[in-house]
Amino acid sequence: MHIFSPLARPSRRVSFALATALATISTAISLAPFAAHAQQASDDGLDAVEKQIQDLQKQLQQLKKQLAAEAKAKAAEAAKLKAAENAAPSNAAATPGGGPGTAAAMGIATTPLAADQRQAQGGAPPPLVPQQVPPNIAPPAAGGTTVNPVPPPAFSDQVPITEVPPPPGADSLSSASPAILTQMAPGYSLRVGGLSISLGGYVEAPLIYRNHAETTGINSGFGTAIPLPNSPQYYMSEIRGDARQSRWAALAQGNISDSISVAAYLEGDFLSAPPTANAVQSNSYTPRWRLYYAQVDDSDLGVHAAFGEIWSLVVPFKVGMVPRQELIPIDPDAQYVVGFDWNRNFGLRLVKSFDDNVFNVGLAIESPETVYGVGPNGVGAPGTTSYYFPGGPTFFSGTSYTNELTPDAVLKVTADPGFGGHYEVYGVARSMQTRTTLDAGGQNHVVGAGGIGGTALYSFFDQKLDVYTTEMAGYGIGRYTSSGLPDATIGPNGAARPLPGATFLLGAIGHPTDAIDTYTYLGREEVGGRYFNAGGKSYGYGNPLYSNVGCDIQLGTPCVANVSSATEVTIGGWWRFLEGNNVGVFLVGPQYEYIRRGDFRGVGGAPTVNEQMYILSFRYYPFQ
């Protein structure tokens, strides 16, 4: 066999020795003529050169024998591998990450189909779909376990990677997925030990126009940020470019056993503004983490746990109740849409699945915080009432925080019965703590709050249209609203008084072609007032005795204008106009928003203002 056969490629050590020997011989030969013509060269010098050449020739023969032995050994090993493949071709080809001859051994990663495609009406999972591994990433070792991302189902901006089988009927959302609207895609993955690591994210460059200036970027203010006629901003429009929503993400996942899988997910953007940030020359904005959490899933027990900075369990899901299956609005506005109930915060979550994931019951313990709405006259309670406190050692001192007695708790039940729908119902339990100090003593006040909500999701016209609705109602639910409505005000005794509130969202996502996705949202959020009068003054939130006489006059005062509601209509779409060759996909997305701000009636009337907004966003998803 020729020593340069691919099956007998010399090792790096032998190749280096051979190259050194050949270089030495060439140098010696090239110097020979000079030695021959040197009149003063002695016979002893010529004999030494000749002896050196003979020694090098012997060394070259030894290297050739060593290379031939290595080539023979590798040829025998290759023949043995081929014989093993021919002995059991069907079993090897069907085993992802298996022995020699499998897709993993040949440099091909196997990626399961989307979670909502893996089981249709209780049927068996479909076969694995091969995807090419980049040439610079080594395939998993023979006999290892292959873990790869799952292609994303229906219109979420999260990465739905999970080894949990979906409930029957979940396939109704499969082809309705605009895959370009995910941070990650079922593309390449890098293996580190037993983990598969995938990258995701996008670069975004939106242009935003508002007919009433909010002096903000891609995050809109659906409540108090919309100016009333007493503000000069009401008479000014604004146009801004804001690329700070550009996002990065990484997912690490692996299997502990045949039934237990683990994952860690990180996601961030640049929507953070330190004191040095500006938009004059160099913006100086800073990165921030949106999500970072770990999860453990046991398919045999039907138990799923997660902890970290995660979407609240209040957020609806497309299917089941596992991370990265959240039903997030797909519009480019970083504040999403009015009517979408959400927060991203610290959470501990435990979910139990029943009846092959048709039903799921989940409980989440989440970090508490309360938003208070207090009028211009203060709290009106005797003594001093404390409810907001400046941040401590690891919090920003310029931000106010509340100190609560218990965490927020969310209990949710989901059902995927298998006829094209996904259904949810949940309850939220909260507590609010204040303290009243009077003379040398004081008293803590702890008040309960909470609400209920639900979601219904359907797919129509052979998965060309997905429609869903979400609702939430209760007391003290303002922190979950996109328009930032308050949770509570302060009562006459210094205790928190939770405000009644309700939210509604109707969303429709269409897929007229493979390259175009359209969407429409209609949402409303409202809060009720609670107030009292004492000593000739008005207190609370939404008090009809508050003065709004200056709200319609430029630079006019007074203008209390407690926000009572926000309503939004949004229409937009995404067009995948450039993609191919495994280098990602480019999108363009136009959007129109109409937002109406409503305020409580007071002395002088009930102010309202309508805002119109246009967004044109360009995105590049390199990992799609």
Flag whether 101 is in a domain. Answer: no
Same domain flag for 495 and 361: yes
Q: How many domains does the chain have?
A: 2
Same domain flag for 484 and 355: yes
Flag whether 104 is in a domain. Answer: no
Mean of the pLDDT values across residues 114-131? 33
How far apart CA 170 and CA 425 sit, in angstroms, is 18
How far apart CA 258 and CA 154 sit, in angstroms, is 27
Comparing 334 with 64, which gets the higher pLDDT?
334
Is-contact 272 220, C-beta < 8 A?
no
User: Hey, what long-range contacts does 276-284 have (CB within 8 A, 24 or more apart)?
Assistant: 279/240, 283/244
Tokens of 281: 């020359």
Q: Which of 61, 87, 113 is the last residue of a domain?
A: 87
Torsion angle defined by CA atoms of residues 324, 526, 486 and 329, in that order, rounded to the nearest 10 degrees: 20
pLDDT at residue 71 in the model: 72
Flag whether 531 is in a domain. Answer: yes
Same domain flag for 201 and 78: no
Same domain flag for 425 and 298: yes
Strand-pairing partners, residue 507, are: 468, 521
Flag whether 245 is in a domain. Answer: yes
How far apart CA 370 and CA 496 sit, in angstroms, is 10
Same domain flag for 604 and 467: yes
Mean of the pLDDT values across residues 583-594? 97
Flag whether 40 is in a domain. Answer: yes
Flag whether 281 is in a domain. Answer: yes
What's the CATH number where 497 sits? 2.40.160.10
Mean of the pLDDT values across residues 232-238? 97
pLDDT at residue 60 in the model: 64
pLDDT at residue 151 in the model: 32
Flag whether 471 is in a domain. Answer: yes
The three-state DSSP-derived secondary structure of 132-193 is ECCCCCCCCCCCCCCCCCCCCCCCCCCCCCCCCCCCCCHHHHCCCCCHHHCCCCCCCCEEEC
Q: Which domain holds residue 15?
A: 6-87
Q: Which of 87, 102, 123 is the last residue of a domain?
A: 87
Flag whether 163 is in a domain. Answer: no
Cα torsion 263, 264, 270, 272: sign: positive
Task: Tell whether pTM > 0.75.
Answer: no
Tokens of 72: 């023979």
3-state helix, strand, coil in the chain (%, to 5): 15, 40, 45
How confident is residue 492, by pLDDT bands cut at 50, 70 and 90?
very high
Same domain flag for 81 and 204: no
Q: Which of 87, 119, 142 is the last residue of a domain?
A: 87
pLDDT in tens, 357-408: 999 999 999 999 999 999 999 999 999 999 999 999 999 898 999 999 999 9
How confident is residue 188, by pLDDT bands cut at 50, 70 and 90?
low
Per-residue pLDDT at 57 exceeds 80 = no
User: What separation in angstroms does the CA of 559 have from each of 227, 562, 566, 584?
Assistant: 12, 9, 18, 51
Same domain flag for 78 and 203: no
